[in-house]
Amino acid sequence: MAHLPQSYASYRSPRIRLADVTPAVLRLPDGHCSPGKLETLSLTGGLLDMADVLDRGSRVKLMFLTHTGPVLGAVEMLNPVSATQQPFRFVALEEDDQRRLRAAVESSLDQNPGEEAWIEKYRATLVHRNPARKSTFRIVLGALTLLTLCLGSAVYVLHIHLLR
């Protein structure tokens, strides 16, 4: 089985969100099988919806069917993101499985090119945003407003009290 490179530091593989329900089967080391549904897929991994999540670091075989053919690969389960959703990363894929996976991802990206561009634009916006300065300004403005209201109220109460 061909092993995949472990480092993708400067490259994030495009993700596709699967519109159709894509059944998947996980074959555990003890031979048991666990069903799931593939929600998101990339060349490096994806996200599964499962009845029972697995321990982080578990290595299992994952089988699923794409429109380009079946894909079977060894995966490592990552930290669950909810009670039923768990991401995974591919650790080994045969060349034919890599080819089918790449063809499935690329054809889905070709059908919906705007989604990946939108995601990249959103990420760029998050990186260039400076929320610390904005929230500091709001805190200072709120404190000044509260101080002004307190001082105004105190002057009003003292003024009415002095007029009696």
**Domain edges within the chain:** 16-114, 133-163
60-88 pLDDT per residue, tens? 999 999 888 999 999 999 999 999 999 99
Q: Which of 86, 97, 31 is nearest to 57 (CA)?
A: 86
Beta strands in 28-134 (DSSP E): 33-41, 45-50, 59-66, 69-77, 85-93
Cα gap 80→63, rounded to integer Å: 19
At 9 the pLDDT is: 42
pLDDT digits (tens, 9 = 90+) for 82-131: 999 999 999 999 999 999 999 888 887 766 555 556 667 777 776 776 65
Are residues 63 and 25 in contact, defined by beta-carbon separation less than 8 angstroms? yes
Tokens of 147: 């101080």
Amino acid at 50: M
Residue with tokens 């009845």: 51
- According to DSSP, the residues that pair with 47 across neighbouring strands are 40, 87
CATH domain 16-114 topology: Thrombin, subunit H (2.40.10)
23-52: per-residue pLDDT in tens?
999 999 999 999 999 998 989 999 999 999
What distance in Å separates the CA atoms of residue 129 and residue 132, rounded to the nearest whole number?
9
